[in-house]
Amino acid sequence: MSTTAYREKKKIKLTSLWKNTTKNGIEMFSGFLGDTKIEIWPNGYKKEHKHPDFIMYIVEKEAKTTTAVFESDATEYVKNEPQKTQDFGPPPNFEDSENIPF
């Protein structure tokens, strides 16, 4: 496909992504698709050219809690700090690449 033909095709923007680097030096991308957080990681399973370079994951939402604090006659509402998202890193490599469905 030529560059000109690619530019002529109609494109619909889904989201924007931010490039991040983990403590271990692995580059990944994150963003939101609507109100759903997504992350795109390098494919740790890739062993052949036909395997995809990246895998996109939907990230589970963190529970937001509100705690009531009572002092004297006044009532304050304090939001708890959201829990830090655990960094699982990229997925482990497949032992048997023949089971990959592509």
- Residue 100 — very low, low, confident or very high, per pLDDT cuts 50/70/90? low
Residue ranges of the domains in the chain?
10-81
Percent helix, strand and coil across the chain, each to the nearest 5: 10, 35, 55
> What stretch of H or E contains 61?
none
Residue 38: per-residue pLDDT: 96
Query: Please, what is the Cα angle at 40 between 44 and 87, to 5 degrees?
Result: 75
Residue 37: per-residue pLDDT: 95
For residue 71 the two structure tokens come to 């002092």
- The answer, as to whether pTM is greater than 0.85, is no
